[in-house]
Structure 1
Amino acid sequence: MQIAPRTNAAVSADVVIFTIYEGRLSVLLVRRVTAPYAGLWCLPGGLLDEGEALDDCAQRVLLEKTGIQGVYLEQLYTFGQPGRDPRGRVLSVAYYALVPYDRLHVRGGVERLDWFPEDELPPLAFDHRQIVGAARRRLVGKLEYSTIALQFMPEEFTLSSLQGVYETILGERLDKRNFRKRLQALNCLEDTGKRYSGGKHRPARLYRAKSPGEVRIIK
């Protein structure tokens, strides 16, 4: 039996970085300065180095392109449609990262960085709009069976602010009483003993995650 020659393909890691910014789910994008697609926006990404693990490549891309490190990072899906990159055959192993906005220290450089609401993205290079869409669907689905929303929260937060994160991602209002019952059943928060006194309402209790940086799957 004759075996057809295999195609040599490069592998890249591309990262969808989500945060909640000004009450909206937002994505960090990089403006390309070289061909192809010079001037268009894209996800932070880079080619896999020889002998480099995929997860290490994604973490390196985050650090080199944005200065972000030490955040929740999860592999999403592999995108390998022929023709997705005009330079040749490139397989993209996509990741998504979740970052509390108060922990962001994005550094500038030759490539311009900016935040865009997930539902108002500019024209994107390659198939990166498809990748963002897949990442959002994964995030929405995972809200139902995990504690992933806590990755958007600062060290201390109110239950109302956490509910706001769920509502922002889902795009719908949630019943306050049912939401708090669900949180209580998850047993993922602890009371700090402090209160937040902003606004005209009575001071609200401040909570923190029992296991910060960990996403627990709910069975």
Structure 2
Amino acid sequence: MDNEQQFLAQYQKEKDRYEKPSVTTDIVVFTVSQERPALELLLIQRKHHPYKDCWALPGGFMDIDESLEQAVQRELAEETGITNIYAEQLYTWSDVARDPRMRILSASYMALTPKDKLQLKAGDDARDAGWFTVKTESLLKEYKETKEMLEETEEILLTLTNTQKDVQAKATLRVRKQAYGTKTSETIEMVEDAVNTIAFDHAKIILYSLYRLRNKVEYTNIAFNLMPEKFTLPRLQAVYEMILGKSLFKAQFRRHIADKVIATGEEVKEGAHRPSQLYRYNHRWVFGSL
């Protein structure tokens, strides 16, 4: 063919000969419960097959005339009623058999937002929606080492619990880390013979997002998305601990966040304790430097 217009016209006639995957978006929305200190994420209960009545991440198919970013926001609003939250794209999931309906690629997103600003309202193909506490438990850890490689394999039980609905969803995953000299790789896979009650491969997406969140808390300002304009350092430390899933030493924590906060000169009295100083986020702090 002599020109591009002719090529494109012929291509349009023949394009249906080629198989094409569909594209979906899935979003992991994390928050922190202040009532009972815990890291929580948002799940929807599926109304239709496949995985009817199972709990899953909000998400769905991208329309032909929208971007991934538009699709994730639309699906989140349709299924949960939540609108206009900042979401960061994390990873594209492309396992061949990840969805029983057809060949589907999913672009996963993550958001971290205060719970009190969100009003849930299940809709579209979601039967219900709710906040689930996140718990991970190491079941088994093995190491293998040769001259060329070091490998760590860990089996992890992921448990998501909503006490108000008396619902629990679980999945067992295998995380394999390999190091070849200075090169490293990490894979997450489902343990297929375990009792997995989280829809599709969403347990993998959740665990991967949790790892990314914990990593980002260490070197970015992401935790401040969960704080009010003014806060105490004990309350800020509690949020860090909930996200990281471990206790932190007070002095070490305060050295770590010293440049990220500014004292307001105000105090607040909480319970029977003496007044605590209020701080605010230092907007001049950018990834560890002023």
Question: TM-score of the superposition, structure 2-length normalised?
Answer: 0.68
Change in 2 beyond 3 A, CA 1:217/1:52: farther
The residue that corresponds to 1:45 in the other structure is 59
Q: Which structure carries more relative contact order (alpha carbon 8 Å, separation 6+)?
A: 1
- Name the amino acid aligned to 1:19: T
The residue that corresponds to 1:169 in the other structure is 243
SS of the residue corresponding to residue 111 of structure 1 reads strand
Q: In the aligned structure 1, how far is the partner of 2:214 from the partner of 2:204?
A: 16
TM alignment of 1:38-117, pairs within 5 A = 38-109=52-123, 111-117=127-133
Change in 2 beyond 3 A, CA 1:215/1:81: farther
The residue that corresponds to 1:15 in the other structure is 27
The residue that corresponds to 2:228 in the other structure is 154
SS of the residue corresponding to residue 71 of structure 1 reads coil
- Tell me how far 1:218 sits from its aligned partner: 3.3
Give the total of aligned pairs.
211
The residue that corresponds to 2:40 in the other structure is 26
When Rg is computed on C-alpha atoms for both structures, the one with the higher figure is: 2
Identity over aligned pairs, percent: 42
The residue that corresponds to 2:281 in the other structure is 209
Indicate if the aligned counterparts of 1:146 and 1:215 stay in contact, CA closer than 8 A. no
- Tell me how far 1:90 sits from its aligned partner: 0.9
For the aligned residue pairs, the C-alpha RMSD in angstroms reads: 2.0
Q: In the aligned structure 1, how far is the partner of 2:285 from the partner of 2:21?
A: 33
Change in 2 beyond 3 A, CA 1:100/1:51: same
Indicate if the aligned counterparts of 2:44 and 2:122 stay in contact, CA closer than 8 A. no
- CA deviation digits over 1:104-151, x for unaligned, max 9? 222244620111111122021100000000000001111221111111
Which deviates more from structure 2 when the two are superposed, residues 93-102 or residues 62-71? 62-71
Q: In the aligned structure 2, how far is the partner of 1:135 from the partner of 1:216?
A: 23
Q: In the aligned structure 2, how far is the partner of 1:215 from the partner of 1:105?
A: 31
- Tell me how far 1:20 sits from its aligned partner: 0.9
Change in 2 beyond 3 A, CA 1:217/1:71: farther
Change in 2 beyond 3 A, CA 1:209/1:66: farther
- Name the amino acid aligned to 2:29: I
Note the residue ranges of structure 2 that are not aligned, 5 or more in a row: 1-16, 136-158, 161-168, 170-196
- Name the amino acid aligned to 2:266: K
Query: Which residue of the other structure, out of 267, 272, 279, is the alignment partner of 1:195?
Result: 267
Indicate if the aligned counterparts of 1:148 and 1:215 stay in contact, CA closer than 8 A. no
- Tell me how far 1:70 sits from its aligned partner: 3.4
Note the residue ranges of structure 1 that are not aligned, 5 or more in a row: none
- Structure showing the higher strand proportion among its residues: 2
